Structure 1
Amino acid sequence: MPELSPHVRNAPPNQIREITQSAWAQPNSIVLSIGEPGFPTPAHILEAAGATLARDETGYTPNAGIMPLRAAFAERAGRQNGVEVAPGRAFVTSGAQQGLHLAMSMLLDAGDEILIPNPGYPTFAMTAELLHAVPVEYPLYPEHDFQPRIADIEALITPRTRVLLLNSPSNPLGAVFSEDLVQELVLLARRRDLWILSDECYEAFTYDVPHVSPLKYDGGGAGSPAIAGGERVIVSVTLSKTYGLTGLRIGALITPAGLEKQMSTVMESIVSCVASPSQYAALSALTGPQDYVTEAAAHYRANRDAAAAVLDGKGIPYLKAQGAFYLWADVSHATGGDVRSWTQKFLAERGVAVAPGTAFGSIGEGWIRIALCGDSGELVAGLERLPSRPLE
């Protein structure tokens, strides 16, 4: 057969899926490598999806989504950030990943550069490369608590740089940006005339610190503390993590005003519209009882603390997670400089799957990502099998 495009042939494997699929094929494995919420979906959300099918509302919706759902996404974003967000600025997407692809399609030409974090979620680079753009990694160093530094980012900006991608709370790190840092990043984007694409998949889960979106400082609206210089922030959100709706594939992009025509056109070519049952389920999730979110946050916090206690007992360093539902741990004492191979060996010998840090970039060598979203007993049992760090 004819060859595939080179940028597809050369796409690297996803190391998270690699270790997770190995674990699924190994009976009785403890799987701590993937971020899959484990709570039952609230009944009112399931009922909303079922009612959509029952009334045979299975035709096309507008490209941007049903207006009540767009309004609900806009209201949530505005309330969280203390700004006005008109419903016309919210565009319903088939999950956050499709939202990121859509946003990059809008912002990047072939050869343009997008600044992405290292460590950072692997599809940031993969999506850019599928669009023939160039991902440029900005470093997040252990000695700086894996927080971005303005000087490090600015040093990488070239005439081809178009987008600065941010991710807070971070997957894989659990790190959360402070309000001061968010303001500095928006100022940098204004100074260097960059778009900001903010991946906020885990915005519902922070621990003892607030989630601050760059949307708070973008554009205008009554009472807005916006930084002057033109609207430049696009936010990607999802209900996959917030309400455990990973399989319904539902999220949204919050964009600056004035992009309605272009967004609708591009959405037609990428997704046409998101499935009606998913949209009505999402509407029920956003406007109905919020017990799921409260209970999930408490579970993730408790799991974080239980995991930290095990790692402390073994002398294993880690970044104390302030958000999301992952713990980022340093097992370099055991990995011999190849954490990817070590995770496969650890799974084969000890029956526990953790994600290798190199799945998220070169700075992740020697580190692992531990998912905190599952059963507490399994989490502790799995981490007890990690090799202790020798006393120095």
Structure 2
Amino acid sequence: MPSLAPHIESVPGSGIRRVFEIAMKLDDVTMLVVGEPDVPVARHIIDAARRAWAEDRTGYTPNGGITPLREALVAKLARENQIQADVEQVWVTVGATQALHQAMGLVLSPGSEILVPDPGYTTFTMNAHMLDARAVPYQLAPEAEFQPDLEALEHLVTDRTRAIIVNSPSNPLGVVFGEATLRRILDFAKRHDLWVISDEVYEYFTYGPKHVSLAALDDDDRVFSVFSLSKTYAMTGVRVGYLVTPKGLADTMRTVQEAQISCVAEPDQYAALAAVTGDNQPVADAREHYRENLDLARGLLDERGIAYLDPEGAFYLWIDVSHASRGDVATWAEDFLLSHRVAVAPGSAFGRTGEGWIRISLASPADALTRGLSALPAP
């Protein structure tokens, strides 16, 4: 058979999905490996999707999405993110995954480089390889409280560097970057004339620090903002996100959106519209549920003397198992799954700096958290 494009062979697999797929073949597994909200979708969202199907709203929509949804997102961005955008800057996508790939595809070309956080979400690096570009990790180190080292960033820039990805609140770390840090990143991007891709999927889930959107601080149109309804409204399988672009890209976006997806399914867009404009109490309730789970997890880990990073956002817990993993946390996580029937994500799946750590999801039932964390080996 003919060969695939050479750069496709370099796309790394997901260490998270590897554990997940093994777990799916086993019985009685405590699932803490993926970020799947354990709360139900709000009834008004389900009803909106049902009405759309019943009314046969199943045709093509404008590439950017139905106008009521885009207008609702413009209002939400102004109200909650302090981002002043117009409708032609807001593009409804197949989840944040497509929004992220779309943004990277707009700014990267074969052989170019993008700075990605390490630890950072797996698709940052996977997308770069898919585009025949190079992901250059910038370290978020424990000794720096997992904050970016701006001086170190300066040494990573080459004449091929085109962009930097910023993820706050962070997956997998739960770190939230403050306004001062975000402004320094923007200043860095300006000095080197870089695009900035801001992943803000967990914007609604912070525990103390306030989430700040990078585009709200941007004064020269270099920020692409990636948002999702999946985690916020427990709609992971509905696949609706949105990309907020700098000004002046509407014609380009119509073209690339048509080439990639044409448009998001119409019933899904009406579900999204109900989510964005409807009662937000279910989101507040979910945040409180995750906060309670965090308190439970802290107590269990403290009692057993297991170190972890106290998260400020998202719904994950970054746990140090270096005392047990012996320098190969990916193998340890698989062995732990097979021996204890507990699925966790190995930290090395998120980058080299994640070696010796695991990520567990707090968006889980309390009894599953108790079972899973109680099985972890104490130092």
On whether the aligned pair clears a TM of 0.5, the verdict is yes
After superposition, where does 1:247-258 map in structure 2 within 5 Å?
A: 247-258=237-248
After superposition, where does 1:93-242 map in structure 2 within 5 Å?
A: 93-219=93-219, 230-242=220-232
Is 1:303 matched up with 2:306?
no
Is 1:29 matched up with 2:29?
yes
After superposition, where does 1:270-289 map in structure 2 within 5 Å?
A: 270-289=260-279
Count of matched residue pairs: 379
Q: Is the contact between residue 75 and residue 87 of structure 1 (CA under 8 Å) also seen in structure 2?
A: no
- TM-score, with normalisation over the residues of structure 1? 0.95
What is the rounded CA distance, in whole Å, between the counterparts of 1:376 and 1:88 in structure 2? 43
User: Matched residue of 2:330: which SS?
Assistant: helix
Residues 231-267 of structure 1: CA deviation (Å, up to 9, x unaligned) = 1111000000000110110010111111110011110
* Structure 2: gaps (5+ residues): none
What is the rounded CA distance, in whole Å, between the counterparts of 1:33 and 1:172 in structure 2? 11
1:83 and 1:131, CA in 2 relative to 1: closer, same or farther beyond 3 A? closer
Q: Is the contact between residue 306 and residue 319 of structure 2 (CA under 8 Å) also seen in structure 1?
A: yes
Is 1:59 matched up with 2:59?
yes
Residue 147 of structure 1: CA displacement?
1.0
What is the rounded CA distance, in whole Å, between the counterparts of 1:181 and 1:10 in structure 2? 33
- TM-score, with normalisation over the residues of structure 2? 0.98
Residues 311-370 of structure 1: CA deviation (Å, up to 9, x unaligned) = 111111111010000000110000111100101111111111110000000111100001
Residue 5 of structure 1: CA displacement?
2.0
Q: Is the contact between residue 82 and residue 213 of structure 2 (CA under 8 Å) also seen in structure 1?
A: no
RMSD: 1.0
Find 2:311's aligned residue among 313, 321, 327. 321
Aligned residue type for 1:284: A
What is the rounded CA distance, in whole Å, between the counterparts of 1:288 and 1:236 in structure 2? 21
Aligned residue type for 2:243: L
User: Matched residue of 2:85: which SS?
Assistant: coil
What is the rounded CA distance, in whole Å, between the counterparts of 2:75 and 2:194 in structure 1? 26
User: Matched residue of 1:201: which SS?
Assistant: coil
Which residue does 1:225 correspond to in 2?
none
Residues 2-29 of structure 1: CA deviation (Å, up to 9, x unaligned) = 2222222332221101111111211001
User: Matched residue of 1:96: which SS?
Assistant: helix
What is the rounded CA distance, in whole Å, between the counterparts of 1:82 and 1:97 in structure 2? 23
Is 1:7 matched up with 2:4?
no
User: Matched residue of 1:242: which SS?
Assistant: coil
Residue 178 of structure 1: CA displacement?
0.9
What is the rounded CA distance, in whole Å, between the counterparts of 1:85 and 1:245 in structure 2? 25
Which residue does 1:387 correspond to in 2?
377
Is 1:294 matched up with 2:281?
no
What is the rounded CA distance, in whole Å, between the counterparts of 1:231 and 1:293 in structure 2? 30
Aligned residue type for 2:366: S
Residue 294 of structure 1: CA displacement?
0.5
Q: Is the contact between residue 355 and residue 368 of structure 1 (CA under 8 Å) also seen in structure 2?
A: yes
Is 1:372 matched up with 2:362?
yes
User: Matched residue of 1:247: which SS?
Assistant: coil
What is the rounded CA distance, in whole Å, between the counterparts of 2:222 and 2:365 in structure 1? 40
Residues 176-225 of structure 1: CA deviation (Å, up to 9, x unaligned) = 00111011111111121111000111001000110011111113xxxxxx
* Structure 1: gaps (5+ residues): 220-229
Aligned residue type for 1:291: Q
Which residue does 1:245 correspond to in 2?
235
Aligned residue type for 1:194: L
What is the rounded CA distance, in whole Å, between the counterparts of 1:7 and 1:22 in structure 2? 27
Which residue does 1:262 correspond to in 2?
252
Q: Is the contact between residue 74 and residue 254 of structure 1 (CA under 8 Å) also seen in structure 2?
A: no
What is the rounded CA distance, in whole Å, between the counterparts of 2:74 and 2:208 in structure 1? 25
Q: Is the contact between residue 72 and residue 273 of structure 2 (CA under 8 Å) also seen in structure 1?
A: yes
What is the rounded CA distance, in whole Å, between the counterparts of 2:77 and 2:227 in structure 1? 9
What is the rounded CA distance, in whole Å, between the counterparts of 2:203 and 2:327 in structure 1? 33
Q: Is the contact between residue 346 and residue 357 of structure 2 (CA under 8 Å) also seen in structure 1?
A: yes
What is the rounded CA distance, in whole Å, between the counterparts of 2:126 and 2:21 in structure 1? 20
What is the rounded CA distance, in whole Å, between the counterparts of 1:82 and 1:33 in structure 2? 33
User: Matched residue of 2:296: which SS?
Assistant: helix
Q: Is the contact between residue 84 and residue 216 of structure 2 (CA under 8 Å) also seen in structure 1?
A: no
Q: Is the contact between residue 10 and residue 129 of structure 2 (CA under 8 Å) also seen in structure 1?
A: no
What is the rounded CA distance, in whole Å, between the counterparts of 2:246 and 2:6 in structure 1? 34
Q: Is the contact between residue 316 and residue 360 of structure 2 (CA under 8 Å) also seen in structure 1?
A: yes
Residue 279 of structure 1: CA displacement?
0.4
What is the rounded CA distance, in whole Å, between the counterparts of 1:305 and 1:363 in structure 2? 26
What is the rounded CA distance, in whole Å, between the counterparts of 1:357 and 1:84 in structure 2? 37
Residue 84 of structure 1: CA displacement?
2.1
Aligned residue type for 1:271: I
Residue 72 of structure 1: CA displacement?
1.4
Query: What fraction of aligned residue pairs are identical, expressed as a percent?
Result: 49
What is the rounded CA distance, in whole Å, between the counterparts of 1:170 and 1:298 in structure 2? 18
Residues 69-90 of structure 1: CA deviation (Å, up to 9, x unaligned) = 1111222122223342222211
